[in-house]
Amino acid sequence: MAKLFLPLTLASLLLLASSSPLASTFDYGEALSKSLLFFEAQRSGKLPANQHVKWRGDSGLSDGFMQGVDLVGGYYDAGDHVKFGFPMAYAVTMLSWSLIKFEEEIAAANQLGNTLDAIRWGTDYFLKAHRQPNVLWAQVGDGDTDHYCWERAEDMTTPRTAFKVDTEHPGSDVAGETAAALAAASIGFRPFNSSYSNLLLLHAKQLFAFADMFRGKYDDSITVVREYYPSVTGYHDELLWAAAWLFEATDDQEYLKYVVENSASLGGTGWAVLMQNRDGPYNATLKQYQAKAEFFLCANLQKNNGYNVAMTPGGLLYIDDWNNMQYVSASAFLMVAYADYLALTNSKLNCPDGQVPPQDILKFAESQAEYILGKNPKSMSYLVGYQGNYPTNVHHRGASIESKSILPASVGCTEGFEHWYDSKQGNPNVIFGALVGGPDQLDRFVDIRSNYEQTEPTIAGNAPLVGLFAKLNILSKGQGNVQTEGKPKPYSEAGVLSKATEDLA
């Protein structure tokens, strides 16, 4: 079952901008490599030879074929096997943003190749899903039939119906979100593969034009998504989000003009975006975007004159019982990104309750990361497989059923419920690096498989961890001054066997 998705933070913040060491007992390098491994566990399609997560096999090999399209690949959303285009695009955007912002930090942790691979697994799929300018395949499988069964992806018997948006059935939100993902990934790939980067950008531009010209909410066109990832805030925010990323990717003033001129009509200044300083004629509007971003940050930092985000007694930001951790990871990422921007411009965050220097923002972000990794009332790591005490009954079909390599016979739809879902044993496969939904508002957490609000991981929740952990890793090693504008390291497929494999061996 997939949780409701980021109505607050999804596409609601864009910081297009560019310390002192923190003493830490946590190994953020290990946390980083593991959080990337989770994306391997979520891979659909034909797995590559360098797949590290060995309990997974090929799956979804005829996705899209019923409709005459090849939609093999991409990511399963969570503990289920639907490929939801909207959160997948958000996850790829956040992975790409992590890479753009913290490339040196990721490289220093030897995770550059794994990060690029995680992004490309998503973008290769988006390219398949977008073969004509005004058609985007936005979903494969559906929540209702998928959730009826508890089986491994490799055994899937559920319908793999594909759903699209087009000129007559528009979906500006999903098309805009995918355009943003491709534009961001195009920036991320530029130093490593310029032809691939250009290809991603071409698709991003086409998708944005499609989203803008044929306007509509995608859940009016793909109604089966409504119970899972509805278009909560409409499509206006995604249009602005896509245009902002396209401006960042192209430097084309037309996109910036779009963001500014539509800021009121599309509600942009009603939520938080911040643009970099390439903005002469548009300062006033961009200042409004910045004010919204700062309001959001101050509220998270508990410095907003009483209008703050709630926190648990144990010190975790608290938004919702259902997969609260996705909000925590996104907020903490935005804090480290903004702290970097402030440090670069030698400034502080002005909150209603006082000025906050970048180091204090980093400290707050780190408090959230520490909570995630075990500094909490349950002394539990909500990142699976990190240190000794972590959830063992993760709500995840593949992790909860013995691997095909050990149990080759198919496990049927309802058989999976009887033998595996209802089992009192812990999962046979440790799904390393999965960020589960996490505790409730009183830091309570019940590690049972049926408790999907707390024990299910999602790709959307995991993606911002990459930038967060990469930054904290550098800081914990006392190398807080790593510049993000440095020369990119050469990337080679062969050189990327990560620390993760050693850890797992």
Ligand X SMILES: *[C@@H]1O[C@H](CO)[C@@H](O)[C@H](O)[C@H]1NC(C)=O
In the complex with ligand X, the residue whose CB is nearer, 135 or 496, is 496
- Binding map of ligand X across residues 255-294, x = CB under 6 A, - = no contact: ----------------------x--xx-x-----------
CB of 247 to ligand X, least distance (A): 16
**195 in contact with ligand X (CB under 6 A):** yes
Q: Which residues contact 225 (CB under 8 A, 6 or more apart)?
A: 84, 86, 138, 139, 142, 143, 163, 218, 219
CB of 439 to ligand X, least distance (A): 41
Query: Which residue in the block uniquely carries the two structure tokens 């490799």?
Result: 154
Count of CB atoms situated within 10 Å of the CB of 231: 22
- Measured distance CA(473)–CA(30) in Å, rounded: 9
What region, left, alpha or beta, does residue 302 occupy, with left being phi > 0 and alpha being psi -120 to 50 degrees? left
- Measured distance CA(122)–CA(76) in Å, rounded: 10
In the complex with ligand X, the residue whose CB is nearer, 167 or 277, is 277
- Measured distance CA(127)–CA(275) in Å, rounded: 28
CB of 315 to ligand X, least distance (A): 36
- Measured distance CA(51)–CA(36) in Å, rounded: 12
In the complex with ligand X, the residue whose CB is nearer, 257 or 419, is 257
CB of 126 to ligand X, least distance (A): 12
In the complex with ligand X, the residue whose CB is nearer, 122 or 176, is 122
- Measured distance CA(44)–CA(41) in Å, rounded: 9
Q: Which residues contact 79 (CB under 8 A, 6 or more apart)?
A: 1, 394, 395, 396, 397, 399, 452, 456, 457
In the complex with ligand X, the residue whose CB is nearer, 35 or 285, is 285
- Binding map of ligand X across residues 121-150, x = CB under 6 A, - = no contact: ------------------------------
**490 in contact with ligand X (CB under 6 A):** no
Q: Binding residue for ligand X (CB under 6 A) from 193, 250, 308, 501?
A: 193
Sites for ligand X among residues 291-330 (CB under 6 A): none
Q: How many residues bind ligand X (CB under 6 A)?
A: 7
- Measured distance CA(87)–CA(70) in Å, rounded: 20
- Measured distance CA(173)–CA(128) in Å, rounded: 19
**198 in contact with ligand X (CB under 6 A):** no
The H or E element spanning position 163 is strand 162-165
Count of CB atoms situated within 10 Å of the CB of 478: 11
Catalytic residues: 447, 456
In the complex with ligand X, the residue whose CB is nearer, 197 or 476, is 197
In the complex with ligand X, the residue whose CB is nearer, 1 or 199, is 199
- Measured distance CA(439)–CA(158) in Å, rounded: 31
Q: Is 370 helix (H, G, I), strand (E, B) or coil?
A: helix
Q: Which stretch binds ligand X (CB under 6 A): 26-34, 165-173, 189-197, 260-268?
A: 189-197
Q: Which stretch binds ligand X (CB under 6 A): 63-71, 190-198, 334-342, 455-463?
A: 190-198
CB of 56 to ligand X, least distance (A): 23
Radius of gyration of the chain (CA): 21
In the complex with ligand X, the residue whose CB is nearer, 6 or 274, is 274
Q: Which residues contact 343 (CB under 8 A, 6 or more apart)?
A: 19, 358
CB of 112 to ligand X, least distance (A): 13
Judge whether 118 and 191 are in contact, CB under 8 Å.
no
CB of 70 to ligand X, least distance (A): 15
State both tokens at 279.
């903005």
CB of 197 to ligand X, least distance (A): 9
448, 450, 454, 457 alpha-carbon torsion, rounded to 10°: 100
- Measured distance CA(94)–CA(97) in Å, rounded: 5
Q: Binding residue for ligand X (CB under 6 A) from 5, 150, 196, 327?
A: 196
- Measured distance CA(142)–CA(409) in Å, rounded: 25
Residues in touch with ligand X (CB under 6 A) = 193, 195-196, 277, 280-281, 283
